[in-house]
Amino acid sequence: MSETKAPWVTYRPELQVLDCTIRDGGLMNNHKFDPELVKAVYQTCVEAGIDAMEIGYKGDKKLFSTDDFGPFKFSDEEEIRKIVGDNDTDLKLAVMADAEKCDYKKDILPKSDSVLDIIRVATYLHQIPIAVDMIHDAHEKGYEVYCNIMAVSTASEPELDQALEVIAQTPCSTVVVVDSFGALYREQIDYLVKKYQGFATGKEIGIHAHNNQQLAFANTIEAIILGCNRIDATMMGLGRGAGNCPMELLIGFLRNPKFHERPIYKLLQDYFVDLRKEMEWGPTIPYAIGGLLNQHPRAAMACRADEENKDKYVEFYDKCTSET
């Protein structure tokens, strides 16, 4: 009698995982990571069979000082190659280019001159025209291009529909549902993923979840169930504020034999235990309040950075609710 696999041990070969630990986590320390840590994350992604690694931003040096930010705020080609060499591996390398914060025509080199594979264009709704130009520019230079529409939890339906209609006509391969404020619940993930699928036919849909309400992993699972095939996660959930979907949980959930959990646990043991002693990330009460109120995490980040007031939850709540 032939064996039948139980449904919870099946997997989709077309699903790809992108690690954004260094890019999103860099928002917690101005991208001032030790190069040894960046290289360790890169090597772990290779050993774990992860599909892509987002190594940083392409920040405009006219807007951001190199004295204030580490090298992966800018992700110059020579800095990337110090970590990955010629990247003679199956791991794709990505950077994020924020609309209006990137001198993309100058700083994004032709693909033939770069070790990068993917440009992820991040945009708010009011920046869609420049994002469209950025997508075309990166595509013409030879890159695979994603479009991450940020702060979607604050978008009105007509604005979002119009943006998706425009983005659907561009050559980007993937459109990502981004829960920037960690404010979304399962029902909203369902609605948004189906909306994106309806507009962006022929493109992959991605998910990038933040963990303000400790729903990043659950919302990521929901998006996968609905057919998202481009999945973001970070090592130990390291990311802005409350962090992101934890890579170790995601890889364990996927049950895909191409992925390997042990290298991730070794990275966490060797580097992230000590990193947690140097910097804070992950869900705390101020981030939860911000998520519940659908507010940008900058206020919660400022609260947690204030040693005297970081645990004054009522004061923080009153301030947030008085501003709504």
Query: What pLDDT, in 10s, does the model give residues 26-83?
Result: 999 999 999 999 999 999 999 999 999 999 999 999 999 999 999 999 999 999 999 9
Cβ neighbourhood burial of 315 (10 Å; 0-12, 13-18, 19+): exposed
Side chain identity at residue 266, one-letter code: K
Domain 11-278 is of which CATH architecture?
Answer: Alpha-Beta Barrel (3.20)
Average pLDDT over every residue of 173-178: 98
Segment 193-248, tens digit of pLDDT: 999 999 999 999 999 999 999 999 999 999 999 999 999 999 999 999 999 999 99
Checking if the pLDDT of 10 tops 90, the result is no
Checking if the pLDDT of 3 tops 60, the result is no
Whole-prediction pTM: 0.95
Segment 89-118, tens digit of pLDDT: 999 999 999 999 999 999 999 999 999 999
Q: Helix, strand, coil shares of the chain as percentages rounded to 5?
A: 45, 15, 40
Checking if the pLDDT of 153 tops 80, the result is yes
Q: How far apart are CA 153 and CA 137, in angstroms?
A: 28
Longest pairwise C-alpha distance within the chain:
68
**Residue 241: per-residue pLDDT:** 95
Question: What residue ranges do the domains of the chain occupy?
Answer: 11-278, 285-322
Q: How far apart are CA 309 and CA 316, in angstroms?
A: 9
- How confident is residue 11, by pLDDT bands cut at 50, 70 and 90? confident
Side chain identity at residue 209, one-letter code: A
Does residue 55 contact residue 33 with C-beta atoms inside 8 Å?
no
Q: How far apart are CA 46 and CA 169, in angstroms?
A: 33
Checking if the pLDDT of 259 tops 60, the result is yes
Q: How far apart are CA 211 and CA 217, in angstroms?
A: 8
Average pLDDT over every residue of 262-281: 97
Does residue 296 contact residue 320 with C-beta atoms inside 8 Å?
no
Of residues 56 and 4, the one with the higher pLDDT is: 56
Does residue 127 contact residue 99 with C-beta atoms inside 8 Å?
yes
Checking if the pLDDT of 149 tops 60, the result is yes
Checking if the pLDDT of 2 tops 90, the result is no
Q: Compute the mean pLDDT over every residue in the chain, rounded to the nearest whole number.
A: 96
Residue for token pair 């594979």: 117
**Residue 236: per-residue pLDDT:** 98
Q: How far apart are CA 292 and CA 182, in angstroms?
A: 8
Of residues 39, 47, 23, the one with CA closest to residue 82: 39
Residue 146 has a CB neighbour count (10 Å cut-off) of: 28
Q: For the chain, what's the residue count?
A: 324
Q: How far apart are CA 249 and CA 271, in angstroms?
A: 18
DSSP 8-state secondary structure symbol assigned to residue 181: T
Side chain identity at residue 199, one-letter code: F
Residue 298 has a CB neighbour count (10 Å cut-off) of: 11
How many helical (H) and strand (E) elements, i.e. helices and strands, does the chain have? 14, 8
Does residue 116 contact residue 93 with C-beta atoms inside 8 Å?
yes
